[in-house]
Each structure stands twice: as C-alpha cells, then as structure tokens.
Amino acid sequence: MPTRIALVTRPAVGGIRRHLHTLISGLQQAGWEPFLLAPPDFVLEGLSVPLYPMTFSLRQNPPEHIRTVFQLSRRLQACAPQLVHAHGLWAALLTAPAAWRAQLPFVFTLHNLVPRLSAPQRLFFQWAAKRAGRIIAVSEAVAHSAEAAGIPSQWMEVIPNGIDPTPFLQLPSRREARAQLGLPLERPLVASIGRLSKEKGFDVLLAAARQLAMRAVPPLVVIAGDGPERESLVQQASSLENVRLLGPLPSVEPLYAAADIVVIPSREEGQGIVAIEAMFARKAIVATAVGGLMETLDRGRYGRLVPPEDSTALAEAIETLLGDPALREHSIEAAFQRAMALYTADRMIARHLTLYRELLPKKIFC
C-alpha cells in the first residue's frame, strides 16, 4: 500500500504553490499517495491530486480559526494519512492542533521569514513547533527568523527549494525568444519576474529604470508577473518608455532566454526561486542583499548584491553589468554548477523522503 500524506496549505501563490507542485509530483513518482487539504480553488496545473476543500480565514478571527482546526481534524481522521505536512506559518499553526488531536506525525515548512509575532502568537507558534516531528526551513535566513521567535535550532532542518532544471537547459535562442515576446532584438534587456506585491520591490526597480532612462542607450526593463501591486506599478511605469509590464506569462523560459540580466529587487525573500531559475538559465543576476537571496548567491559570489530600497545602487549595478560582458560571464558557469549541486528538484525530493521516513512508524516500510 502506498504511504498516504496530507499536504495542508492556506491560499498560496508564487513560491509555495510552485514548491507544492514539485513536491507532489516527486512524491507521486516515488510511489507515495499525496492529497491536498486546501482552499477549493487551489489548482496545481498538470497534476492530478485529490483535493479536500478547506475553509481558511485570512482574518485574525479566533472563532473562525477554531472551526478550521476542527474541520481539519475531521478531514484527517476521515482520510487517514500516515503523515501530515503543513506549508506556511499560518497553515502550520492551524494544522498542529488538528494533527495532535488525530494523533498523526506532523511536520511543517516555513517558506518565508517569520514576521514579528505578538506575545500570544509567539507562544502558540512555540506550542505548534513542539507538536511537530520536524520543522523545515527553505533557507538559513528563514531558520534564523524562527529561532528569533523562540524555536530551538535543533528542531529545524534547512531544505532549500529545488526545481527541475530541464526547461532552463533547453531555452530558445535570444532571437526566437525576443520575437516571441515582441521585444526588440538589439536593445539591452533587464528582466524581472515575480508576484507583483510590495515585498518584491518592483517599485524600486522602476525607480532604477527611471535613472537608467537617462543613459545614452537605456536598457529595456521588462517585468513579468501579476499581483496586488499591478495597477500601481502600471501607473508608475506609464511615463517610462524603457519599461514593459508583460503581466503573467504562460511560460517564463522565453523571458530568461531574451534577457541580458535578471534583477531581483526584493525587500524580503525567504529563499529566491527566481535566482535559482536564473542560475540554471546561465544569466547574470543583480539582487538585493536580503533573506535567503544572500545564501542562494553565496553573499555575492554568484551575483551582484545591492542594499534593498536603494534604486541608485540598483541602477549602477545594472549599468555596470550591461557595460561589461566579461564581468557578466565571470560567475555564470560557477553559479550554474552551484544550482545543479544544491537546487534541483531531485535533491529536494530525496531530502524530504529521508525526513518523512525518519518520522513514520517503521512498520509502514516493512
């Protein structure tokens, strides 16, 4: 009989959703039987995975959260998994008491930096952590933020996100990619990809683009993605002839192929999947020195790091790399090798399976 594992998530976009897609696909290939406890509209394209719809409140409403805990508990008892894995801090806080009531092994992953918690939230976080067999952090920065909230480091294991490198090893040519996206062939191109939310810092990139527009040959700054800041960013970019907002793309690979530089202007970042994609795509990177980005890029060995919120430093780093092709090429191959060693989906899946087997009763594998 395949091992059944319940994966619990609240409404999630971006990195968590992509992580779940990769993890579930890997578990299915390994012969496990994963299923989701998630909002009813939670869809992972291209995957066939059972979804048991859950109602998660996004408000700070204790009575609603208590109802969710009991709903989760009933679901877990009815579905009878051998293991429960929650994704994200707030999903973990709600799942911990449900898994405890169902007497099931429980693990959770912190995908983002743990925010400053109120005293009651901090106590509940510590209680939930004690119920977990293990806590996974996607970077040392995330693990350190959990330690600052009172979680002992020995309870945590850092397992970085991993992705399938194959699409980035088979990119179209620069000419084909730019033609596909309707972008000029000869103009220097700076690409940035992600959820259009405040923490991703795209407004800072637009401020840098305004400075770059005054150069003799201003690069084209192309931003792909969607999110709550989209309307504001469109307004900010309306007066900038060197900026294009492409919206969400069905596939990001053509933009990587088209780009000369990939920029990650985040204000905060748990790890930085875009940086990993750029490393696999063999693209030079400019990023902010925040959170897990500093680990992914090894504190600047595999990409230029600038302070967050500093549009001038960002513009200068972009201009420096665009003006020096040899400098761009200097760390690209080493960054690619680093990504192959640390950030593949296969490695991530293998480390999860090892951890799961440590938590499950031995008789399951007999």
Where are the domains positioned within the chain? 4-163+344-365, 166-342
The mean pLDDT value for 218-239 works out to 96
Where are the alpha helices (H) located in 268-365, listed in sequence order? Answer: 273-280, 293-296, 311-322, 325-330, 332-342, 345-359
Q: Which of 32-36, 215-219, 254-258, 270-274 has the lowest mean pLDDT?
A: 215-219
Q: What digits encode the pLDDT tens for the residues 173-195?
A: 999 999 999 999 999 999 999 99
| Residues 285, 297 contacting (CB under 8 angstroms) | yes
256 CB-near residues (< 8 Å, 6+ apart): 168, 171, 191, 262, 277, 278, 281, 283
Q: Is 344 strand, coil or helix? A: strand
Question: Distance between CA 50 and CA 44 in Å, rounded?
Answer: 11
The mean pLDDT value for 275-301 works out to 96
Q: What digits encode the pLDDT tens for the residues 26-41?
A: 999 999 999 999 999 8
355 CB-near residues (< 8 Å, 6+ apart): 107, 134, 136, 157, 159
Residue 365 has pLDDT above 50, yes or no: no
Residue 364 has pLDDT above 60, yes or no: no
pLDDT of residue 366: 40
How confident is residue 363, by pLDDT bands cut at 50, 70 and 90? low
- The domains spanning 4-163+344-365 and 166-342 adopt the same CATH topology: yes
Q: What digits encode the pLDDT tens for the residues 71-114?
A: 999 999 999 999 999 999 989 999 999 999 999 999 999 999 99
pLDDT of residue 112: 93
- Domain 166-342 fold: Rossmann fold (3.40.50)
CATH no. for 4-163+344-365: 3.40.50.2000
Residue 283 has pLDDT above 70, yes or no: yes
Q: Is 110 strand, coil or helix? A: strand
